[in-house]
């Protein structure tokens, strides 16, 4: 009876899906959009509504009849269609051209994303589109709606990662207004840092300088850190402004400036002399642990250039018993030992007192262990200590330049008009790590199609992947794929969406048998649980001939009738993903048959 009920339910659902697909031809545009949404919900476990060529062209022709909400919805669904030829691609782009000038920001953003994704092989088209939507984005950045303004600023920042200076001529649009909330001001300051060039650097620095004295301490420090970012390119102008800010003797300002100085001398050694001259007197103002750590580090590393460095550190040594932050004590130990190597006569007495206190009286074991380490290191001799603590470092400015390399538009095109620019790629991947989706649909027509013209409108329902020989698959996996466990973990966390399926399994897993079978089809094992584990796990990786990675997690609980299989893909290639899962299910099905 249960089986008959399931069959009847499946027939009813199939009839409903076919009816909804047929209603996509309805004359009422509201019906068309609502049918799409209904199909998306009903077919969620199968990957959502199918957009094949007939449906895509039908929806494109109906776009003028839709309202703004419907247009943005349809543009989002059209992302699932991949044009079959270059001619078809540009025909679609020409049809969508007018929507880049829509009065609705949601339509503009959806159309822009569709342009960027479809024109992934034509960078000049992508750049032209971003130039054309500059006006709507700037309007959104000055919108009275705070939510819209914040979202637009996040997307502007994303664009600037690939096209530096894209909005440089409009930098005044990103100056902060007094009435704006803190989170919008912070975004605007980040954008201003990316817009600086030789022509506008005086104006932008002057604007940021005004923010440094804002009544909000958090905003003031944010402005100081923004000036610090610009200082990596325009060092002299920025160091002058930061030095003048120290004269205000404000605790939060002095702390932020010293923190910026610490990072700046690390990346721009040419400013060490000016920074060293400005450090005197800062210890009288700084109270927070971050500022103290930065000041102590500077005095330890560059104390030979600061005449009063030993006496400043001596104040910290005198007050070490009342110091509440262990990180400050750790930094003080390191800084004083380093300064002792360069200026032993001035530092010997207070270093002895500090080591005695940290070893005999300090309760924090981390501080005590650090003090013991330095005590024994100094016993080994000054040369040994100098070789360890004062060894030359690599040129960190080169790392900064590497980090400034421009990224391709394709690196973030699929994230445009989503929550990724707002949360950040890594945080969004972590937030959605537990969310999985089914396999995407194919574009095959059904046997009894509803047609638009002479082409089918209803896609064919997917069939179960049969357990056949893997040689029939069009997927070609590389035999020499090498990935470490650390690389696998980083890649896995950065891939947000996955495809989850279940493979029937009744017997205990034999890891050696599974691993040997996977190697035959060039699927490599990263890690695998022992036989009989309460929760058996395996992590697999493979790469096809185009470079697309397939990362897999297998899970099997004791007594479970199915093995859970979660697959993530480095590139959005539905057909390749389906082929890989077919290979993997065939292998696992074969192994399950051997063990039963």
Mean pLDDT of the chain: 82
pLDDT tens digit sequence for 429-464? 777 764 443 333 434 333 333 444 444 455 544 333
346 closest CA partner among 356, 336, 354 = 336
2-131: CATH topology is 1.25.10
pLDDT tens digit sequence for 465-496? 333 344 444 678 887 777 777 778 888 888 87
Q: Per-residue confidence at 551, pLDDT binned at 50, 70, 90?
A: very high
Which of 59-63, 355-359, 420-424, 591-595 comes out lowest in average pLDDT?
591-595
Contacts of 501 (CB under 8 A, 6+ apart): 438, 439, 565, 567, 581, 585
**Which pLDDT score is estimated for 534?**
78
144-154+162-398: CATH topology is 1.25.10
Across the range 153-157, mean pLDDT stands at 93
Tally the C-alpha atoms within 13 A of residue 380's C-alpha that lie toward its C-beta: 12
Please name the CATH architecture into which domain 464-595 falls. 2-Layer Sandwich (3.30)
- Residue 451's H or E segment, with its range, is strand 451-452
Where do the structural domains in the chain lie, given as residue ranges?
Answer: 2-131, 144-154+162-398, 464-595
**Which pLDDT score is estimated for 573?**
83
545 in Cβ contact with 476 (< 8 Å): yes
**Which pLDDT score is estimated for 407?**
66
**Which pLDDT score is estimated for 47?**
77
**Which pLDDT score is estimated for 414?**
86
pLDDT tens digit sequence for 368-389? 999 999 999 888 888 888 887 8
**Which pLDDT score is estimated for 219?**
93
pLDDT tens digit sequence for 267-284? 888 888 989 888 888 888
Q: Per-residue confidence at 358, pLDDT binned at 50, 70, 90?
A: very high
The beta strands (E) that lie in 453-572 are given as 455-456, 499-504, 524-528, 535-543, 549-557, 562-569
134 has a pLDDT exceeding 60: yes
**Which pLDDT score is estimated for 596?**
44
3-state secondary structure 264-325: HHHHCHHHHHHHHHHCCCHHHCCCCHHHHHHHHHHHHHHHHHCCCHHHHHHHHHHCHHHCCC
395 has a pLDDT exceeding 60: no
546 has a pLDDT exceeding 70: yes
3-state secondary structure 201-239: HHHHHHHHHHHCCCCCHHHHHHHHHHHHHHHCCCHHHHH
Tally the C-alpha atoms within 13 A of residue 65's C-alpha that lie toward its C-beta: 14
pLDDT tens digit sequence for 302-339? 888 888 889 899 999 998 888 888 999 999 999 999 99
Tokens coding 192: 């201003």
Is the fold of 2-131 the same as that of 144-154+162-398?
A: yes
- Above pLDDT 70, what percent of the chain? 86
**Which pLDDT score is estimated for 445?**
36
Which of 2-16, 340-354, 529-543 comes out lowest in average pLDDT?
2-16
Which of 125-134, 424-433, 447-456 comes out lowest in average pLDDT?
447-456
**Which pLDDT score is estimated for 493?**
81
Which carries the bigger pLDDT value, residue 44 or residue 152?
152
- Model-level pTM? 0.67
205 has a pLDDT exceeding 60: yes
Q: How far apart are CA 236 and CA 494, in angstroms?
A: 38
Q: How far apart are CA 127 and CA 410, in angstroms?
A: 11
């Amino acid at each position: 009876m249960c089986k008959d009920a399931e069959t009847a339910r499946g027939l009813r659902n199939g009839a409903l899906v076919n009816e909804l697909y047929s209603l996509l031809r309805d004359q009422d545009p509201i019906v068309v959009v609502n049918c799409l949404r209904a199909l998306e919900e009903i077919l969620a476990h199968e990957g959502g509504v199918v957009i094949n060529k007939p449906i895509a062209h039908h929806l494109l022709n109906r776009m003028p009849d839709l309202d703004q909400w419907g247009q943005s919805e349809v543009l989002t669904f059209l992302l699932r269609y991949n044009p079959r030829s270059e001619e078809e691609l540009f025909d679609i782009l020409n049809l969508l051209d007018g929507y880049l000038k829509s009065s609705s920001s949601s339509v503009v953003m959806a159309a822009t994303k569709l342009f960027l994704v479809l024109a992934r092989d034509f960078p000049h088209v992508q750049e032209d589109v971003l130039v054309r939507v500059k006006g709507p984005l700037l309007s959104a950045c000055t919108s009275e709606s705070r939510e819209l303004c914040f979202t637009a600023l996040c997307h502007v920042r994303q664009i600037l990662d690939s096209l530096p200076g894209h909005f440089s001529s409009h930098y005044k649009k990103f100056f902060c207004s007094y009435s704006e909330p803190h989170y919008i001001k912070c975004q605007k300051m980040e954008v201003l840092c990316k817009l600086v060039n030789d022509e506008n650097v005086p104006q932008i620095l002057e604007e940021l300088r005004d923010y440094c004295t804002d009544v909000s301490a958090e905003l003031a420090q944010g402005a100081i850190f923004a000036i610090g970012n610009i200082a990596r390119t325009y060092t002299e102008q920025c160091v002058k402004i930061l030095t003048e800010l120290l004269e205000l003797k404000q605790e939060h300002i002095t702390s932020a400036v010293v923190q910026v100085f610490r990072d700046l001398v690390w990346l721009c050694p040419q400013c060490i002399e000016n920074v060293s001259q400005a450090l005197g007197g800062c210890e009288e103002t700084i109270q927070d642990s971050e500022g103290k750590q930065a000041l102590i580090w500077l005095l330890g590393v560059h104390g030979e250039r600061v005449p009063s460095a030993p006496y400043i550190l001596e104040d910290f040594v005198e007050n070490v018993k009342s110091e509440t932050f262990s990180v400050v004590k750790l930094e003080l130990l390191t800084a004083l030992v380093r300064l002792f190597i360069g200026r032993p006569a001035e530092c010997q007495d207070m270093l002895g007192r500090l080591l005695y206190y940290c070893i005999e009286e300090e309760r924090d074991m981390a501080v005590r262990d650090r003090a013991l380490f330095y005590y024994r290191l100094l016993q080994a001799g000054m040369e040994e200590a100098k070789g360890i603590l004062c060894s030359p470092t690599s040129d960190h400015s080169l790392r900064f330049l590497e980090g400034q390399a421009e990224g391709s538009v394709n690196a973030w095109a699929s994230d445009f008009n989503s929550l990724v620019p707002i949360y950040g790629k890594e945080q969004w991947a972590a937030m959605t790590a537990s969310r999985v989706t089914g396999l995407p649909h194919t574009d095959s027509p059904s046997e009894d199609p509803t047609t638009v013209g002479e082409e089918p409108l209803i896609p064919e329902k997917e069939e179960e992947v049969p357990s056949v020989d893997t040689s029939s698959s069009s997927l070609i996996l590389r035999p020499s794929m090498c990935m470490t466990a650390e690389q696998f973990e980083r890649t896995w966390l950065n891939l947000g969406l996955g495809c989850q399926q279940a493979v029937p399994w009744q017997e205990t897993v034999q890891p050696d048998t599974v691993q040997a079978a996977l190697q035959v089809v060039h699927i490599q094992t990263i890690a695998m649980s022992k036989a009989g584990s309460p929760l058996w796990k395996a992590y697999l990786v493979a790469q096809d001939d185009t470079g697309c990675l397939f990362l897999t997690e297998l899970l099997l609980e004791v007594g479970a009738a199915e093995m859970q299989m979660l697959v993530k893909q480095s590139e959005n290639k539905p057909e390749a993903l389906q082929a890989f899962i077919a290979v993997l299910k065939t292998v696992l099905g074969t192994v399950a048959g051997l063990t039963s």
